[in-house]
Structure 1
């Protein structure tokens, strides 16, 4: 009865139309195959009996050598991906599971073969499409950076032709902000991620750029500039990185102009970190003359701090705070 029951179970397995099933004798010859396996290889099921399974397998020399050994009938369950050769010369990429049958009768080994060719081809097309999109985004970032640099150069040229005392400074501020945005796109173009910006790397580059801009105002190279960044790094998406970078540009530029200019003992510290809730914090602190904290920004001509406040509150949906004491400290925080 048990043998009859086993045979009935095998008949059910072979009758499954969704997956290929093939049995082998101790020589690796096919003793039985269902219609799905036959169609997978481009044959009729009746024509497969007596054929060697390795006539259909591609690049499975190690498995063939194992079948030729004395111990292969005791082979435990194996599972691997392999190519099956079709009659028309094409290949089917299949996921194959196999196990020896005990006791060994006409069929000593059974294989279950799942044709995953379409799945593998679809994944390959998806990866190729993703690579194309990544290359396109890289190229877009590269072109945006170049175009912004062209605009910045045109502003430089225009400022040389203007005689108004404040106009070159205004254009210089605009140029600095354009360059800051260009630096973000350049980092995206050169980096591995297309979506996130390592703000530590960006801040160091931004500080070098701003310091070089204000070199003429700094009396001594002994002015101390410190950058303190969370050791785990601060990575934020580009949609947040650009406005945040403009905030840092304005605060650092303001410190160089008002706290570091014409001084030999100027000190500037920029700190940045995140907490466990995904909130970003930044502080820009200097030892300059500071400012009157009772002043209403909306009623003063300090457009820089007003710009910072508006970007933080309106774009980053964060908080902005000016702290007095020795010098000036501006604190910014927002959620990623």
Structure 2
């Protein structure tokens, strides 16, 4: 007689009712077993209206919603579910005390099927004590969502203040090129009054030879992140002030959307002084560039970011990848170009990896004192990995160093993803084999219990045979669970364990003597399981039909060239001389024939009055693909 469960505490319902969260319990038919006070107040649906009724009949708008699907999944698989208000707009129809819609999250947890309900409001809960159930918890997040909205609005206000005081002119237009907004710097740079250009075409600010504003924005493809579209590469052009004078500009553009409308924002930087300085540098460095032209063509073809520094650390030349690098490549020194002091620019930047500082220190030492090349990897604040290489150039016309930054982020990500994937796959395979082994052992235990209750000796023998076959398969999955790799098992060790278990189950040394001789051979599970079942059948038959004395069984498993051979020999009374395994009515012999067909194995039988030898030969698994598994009808004849 099963022991009685202790009485549940009388304050359980009071605790659940006092929780500042919705709690409801469903049985496997989605009928409501519990509906606490919080849910009653938030939904205006009383306990009397909900108890014993299908939740999704009471709330028909939720039927076949994501919530309904998640509840069914939890009841069917036992896996918990979490539904967020941001991704699941169709949740419970709940209201705050002031009538506003309640923003809430839902957590669905399974309850163990063997436990009695810790609380009940009706007889339905008592009847569902042994069935699958799930507990649903509803949490009010309205306050936190409103708080986040306020913070976001404050942050947007700060951003607007920063943009309005930026040192570069910023102009926003619609997709027709009509000015919608411009910051204070733009009004000062082009000498217009605030809001004077609102509604006019942006071409008023550009020179006659400037490219079309809208066409340049269309040239930038959509961003992968789904936010603002990718900014174009900076373009230098001429602008026009109110008085008609020209100004040299560098234009960077980006498209973005808000409330279903598209906009174009351009940053117009005054580069008049920078262009003059750059022209002077180009003139003075003409001879140097001619000398390096052939080398630069080669460097431009490389995906690495390469620069040549003189002895003082000033950039003399860069390759194409460096020149076209975007703002995310912070190691470039915040946009430094030819003629800039690289060490000075990089000294202002920040990286997430202290190793970047050691790279810069090594580069300074290399420039000032010489020495061996510098090589190191580091990661930046935007989680980009780089490998830095710096080598001295003492024989060059200006000395200095060749500096190379190689973006290895993708390689690092792939390595991390592969390591994670391998770990997850190994864990999953180990767990699958463990669960299959446990399930098969449970079936074996059930058969053992059933065998003990059978009065007929003949029926018990059939149940014992079935249990032996199940344990042979479970032993394969046990080996896979214990191994470091899950695609193959070492079949010789498996045979030894199988024979030891069969000898023990048959009465020990007094009833049988099983000798195993095997090479070390790894077999995939699709071959190991059928071959293990064949060995189990042959050894069991040899012990069962041993005659008067103890069984003497020899099991060998060998590899010769591209063939594998499993041999089981006994000294029993033998088989009839006209025995044909394909015509045998024995289930064991039909199993052997069918399983051998699965792995393309041949079965040879040598029988004498002093014993029988079964020889199973099959190709090495890597050389021959497996056939499809035989059906149940084929085994049963």
TM-score by shorter chain over 0.5: yes
1:201 and 1:90 mapped to 2: Cα distance?
52
In structure 1, what is the equivalent of residue 518 of structure 2?
A: 229
Q: Does 1:68 align with 2:356?
A: no
Q: In structure 2, which of residues 535, 538, 544 is the aligned counterpart of residue 257 of structure 1? A: 544
When structure 1 is superposed on structure 2, of 116-125 and 201-210 the one drifting more is 116-125
1:105 and 1:74 mapped to 2: Cα distance?
18
Cα RMSD of the aligned pairs, angstroms, is 3.3
In structure 2, what is the equivalent of residue 239 of structure 1?
A: 526
Q: In structure 2, which of residues 477, 482, 494 is the aligned counterpart of residue 202 of structure 1? A: 494
The alignment partner of 1:45 has SS state of coil
Assess, with a 3 A threshold, how the Cα gap between structure 1 residues 274 and 66 changes in structure 2: closer, same or farther.
farther
For normalisation by structure 2, the TM-score amounts to 0.45
Assess, with a 3 A threshold, how the Cα gap between structure 1 residues 9 and 298 changes in structure 2: closer, same or farther.
closer
1:159 and 1:196 mapped to 2: Cα distance?
33
1:127-175: CA deviations, max 9, x gaps? 2123212211211111111111111111111112222231110011001
Following TM superposition, by how much is the alpha carbon of 1:188 offset from its aligned partner in structure 2, in angstroms?
1.0
Query: Following superposition of structure 1 onto structure 2, how do residues 35-54 of structure 1 map, counting pairs within 5 Å?
Result: 35-36=323-324, 39=327, 40-41=329-330, 43-46=334-337, 49-51=341-343
2:455 and 2:571 mapped to 1: Cα distance?
33
When structure 1 is superposed on structure 2, of 124-133 and 163-172 the one drifting more is 124-133
- Runs of 4+ that moved beyond 6 A: 69-72
In structure 1, what is the equivalent of residue 564 of structure 2?
A: 280
Following TM superposition, by how much is the alpha carbon of 1:91 offset from its aligned partner in structure 2, in angstroms?
4.1
Assess, with a 3 A threshold, how the Cα gap between structure 1 residues 49 and 209 changes in structure 2: closer, same or farther.
same
**Larger RCO: 1 or 2 (CA < 8 Å, sep 6+):** 1
In structure 2, what is the equivalent of residue 132 of structure 1?
A: 424
In structure 2, what is the equivalent of residue 59 of structure 1?
A: 355
Q: Does 1:294 align with 2:581?
A: no
Considering fraction of residues, name the structure with more helix. Answer: 1
When structure 1 is superposed on structure 2, of 52-61 and 36-45 the one drifting more is 52-61
Following TM superposition, by how much is the alpha carbon of 1:101 offset from its aligned partner in structure 2, in angstroms?
2.0
Is contact 1:293–1:322 with CA below 8 Å preserved after alignment?
Answer: no
In structure 1, what is the equivalent of residue 263 of structure 2?
A: none
Q: In structure 2, which of residues 569, 579, 588 is the aligned counterpart of residue 304 of structure 1? A: 588
1:301-321: CA deviations, max 9, x gaps? 443233212211x21111000
The alignment partner of 2:449 has SS state of helix
Assess, with a 3 A threshold, how the Cα gap between structure 1 residues 184 and 48 changes in structure 2: closer, same or farther.
farther
Total equivalences in the alignment: 322
Query: Following superposition of structure 1 onto structure 2, how do residues 66-105 of structure 1 map, counting pairs within 5 Å?
Result: 68=365, 73=370, 75=372, 82-85=377-380, 89-105=381-397
Is contact 1:75–1:99 with CA below 8 Å preserved after alignment?
Answer: yes
1:15-35: CA deviations, max 9, x gaps? 558320022444767555432
Q: In structure 1, which of residues 146, 152, 157 is the aligned counterpart of residue 449 of structure 2? A: 157
Q: In structure 2, which of residues 413, 421, 424 is the aligned counterpart of residue 121 of structure 1? A: 413
2:288 and 2:445 mapped to 1: Cα distance?
87
Following TM superposition, by how much is the alpha carbon of 1:332 offset from its aligned partner in structure 2, in angstroms?
0.3
Assess, with a 3 A threshold, how the Cα gap between structure 1 residues 178 and 5 changes in structure 2: closer, same or farther.
same
Is contact 2:305–2:406 with CA below 8 Å preserved after alignment?
Answer: yes
Following TM superposition, by how much is the alpha carbon of 1:199 offset from its aligned partner in structure 2, in angstroms?
0.6
In structure 2, what is the equivalent of residue 318 of structure 1?
A: 601
Q: In structure 2, which of residues 280, 305, 313 is the aligned counterpart of residue 20 of structure 1? A: 305
The alignment partner of 2:557 has SS state of strand
Following TM superposition, by how much is the alpha carbon of 1:327 offset from its aligned partner in structure 2, in angstroms?
1.7
Q: In structure 2, which of residues 474, 496, 501 is the aligned counterpart of residue 182 of structure 1? A: 474
1:167-202: CA deviations, max 9, x gaps? 110011001111111111111111111111111121
Is contact 2:390–2:401 with CA below 8 Å preserved after alignment?
Answer: yes
1:8 and 1:70 mapped to 2: Cα distance?
23
Assess, with a 3 A threshold, how the Cα gap between structure 1 residues 37 and 227 changes in structure 2: closer, same or farther.
same
Q: Which has the larger radius of gyration?
A: 2
In structure 2, what is the equivalent of residue 332 of structure 1?
A: 616
Assess, with a 3 A threshold, how the Cα gap between structure 1 residues 62 and 165 changes in structure 2: closer, same or farther.
same
Is contact 1:293–1:324 with CA below 8 Å preserved after alignment?
Answer: yes
2:346 and 2:518 mapped to 1: Cα distance?
60
The alignment partner of 1:293 has SS state of coil
- Unpaired runs of 5+ residues, structure 2, are 1-286, 622-637
2:564 and 2:478 mapped to 1: Cα distance?
22
